[in-house]
Amino acid sequence: MLSGKVVAVTGAGRGIGREIALLCAREGAAVLVNDFGGTADGEGHDSNPAAETVADIKAAGGSALANFASVADPAGAQSIIEDAVKAFGRIDAVVNNAGILRDRIWHKMSHEDWKQVIDVHLNGAFNVSKAATPYFRDQGSGSFIHFTSTSGLIGNFGQANYSAAKMGIVGLSNSIALDMQRAGVRSNCIAPFAWSRLIATIPPKDEAERQRLERMKSMSADKIAPLVAFLASDASADVTGQIFAVRKNEIFLFSVPRPIRSMHRSDGWTAESIASDLLPAFKPSFHPLERSSDVFGWDPV
């Protein structure tokens, strides 16, 4: 499905990104494999993960090139796209997958915890997408595939930085979809359920949490890759501005915020009338505080 395409995948040295790169190569794409090679919390630098993914693609007869830049650095993000174009002649799809975790309960989260996660996830997605946009506009085609999370779409404990970044990516993707539709460029999000080294860093708080993490081990990273390959292909030409989730063999389409209730007063509202009239009317429609495990309560299938 990707014969003749060039796909850049960030964070492709391990986990979900690696599986995406491997499948895109098997589907015929030339793959730019980007990975800074840091730890799960963003420390350090190691070129081996990206190099190993490239070696595996080439050993299977595919075409790939490694890039070791940080997506949080605008110049580094630019090098990802320029390396792909220089090596393979074009760029057709960008997969914004790179990420780190610095989980802290809200009252203990530092400015550095916040900044590091926002820089890699949200600013990184912006930087790489911005670098690819001129090429997409000139050729009148292209696909952005951004990774969001149910931690943002639904909620989770101790992840204010990660949740904010991942919801920011949803807004970024939708804006790109609107602005770039006339140029034939599409932009979509995927929320993955998969066991990865980032998930492995989350300590279970109780037995229920331990069991939930054990269930996640059955959700292998390779299950995410087929939807990415589809969204990178011409078969998805009419798909843009959407939010998907993948959970083992299940694929979900998420709704987006839209008004669900309204109330009007011809003479305007006061704080008192909001308390006495609007609150009783709206309260039955308030959504509860939930995490993804509350919404997805059944075992992965």
Q: What is the pLDDT of residue 285?
A: 97
Q: Which residues contact 253 (CB under 8 A, 6 or more apart)?
A: 242, 243, 244
Pairwise CA distance, residues 46 & 69, whole Å:
11
In the chain, domain spans: 6-256
How far CA 284 is from CA of 79, 217, 271, in Å, comes to 51, 37, 19
3-state secondary structure the chain: CCCCCEEEECCCCCHHHHHHHHHHHHCCCEEEEECCCCCCCCCCCCCHHHHHHHHHHHHCCCEEEEECCCCCCHHHHHHHHHHHHHHHCCCCEEEECCCCCCCECHHHCCHHHHHHHHHHHHHHHHHHHHHHHHHHHHHCCEEEEEECCHHHHCCCCCEHHHHHHHHHHHHHHHHHHHHHHHHCEEEEEEEEECCCHHHHCCCCCCHHHHHHHHHHCCCCHHHCHHHHHHHHCHHHCCCCCCEEEEECCEEEECCCCCCCCCCCCCCCCCHHHHHHHHHHHHHHHCCCCCCHHHHCCCCCC
Q: What is the pLDDT of residue 202?
A: 65
Q: What is the pLDDT of residue 93?
A: 99
* Average pLDDT score over residue span 237-243: 98
pLDDT at 197 over 70: no
How far CA 220 is from CA of 1, 187, 195, 244, 291, in Å, comes to 22, 25, 6, 17, 21
Pairwise CA distance, residues 114 & 153, whole Å:
18
Q: How confident is the model at residue 198 (pLDDT cuts 50, 70, 90)?
A: low
Pairwise CA distance, residues 271 & 285, whole Å:
20
Q: Quick: pLDDT tens for 260-278.
A: 999 999 999 999 999 999 9
Q: Quick: pLDDT tens for 140-153.
A: 999 999 999 999 99
Q: Quick: pLDDT tens for 32-90.
A: 999 999 777 777 778 999 999 999 999 999 999 999 999 999 999 999 999 999 999 99
Q: What is the pLDDT of residue 38?
A: 79
User: What CATH number matches the domain at 6-256, 3.50.50.60, 1.10.150.120, 3.30.365.10, 3.40.50.720?
Assistant: 3.40.50.720
Whether residue 126 contacts residue 170, with contact meaning beta carbons closer than 8 Å, is answered with: no
0.75 cut: is pTM over it? yes
- 281-293 CB burial, b ≥16 within 10 A, e <16: eeeeeeeeeeebb
Residues acting as catalytic residues: 162
Q: What is the pLDDT of residue 195?
A: 74
| Lowest-confidence segment of 152-156, 158-162, 196-200, 249-253 by average pLDDT | 196-200
Q: What is the pLDDT of residue 4?
A: 97
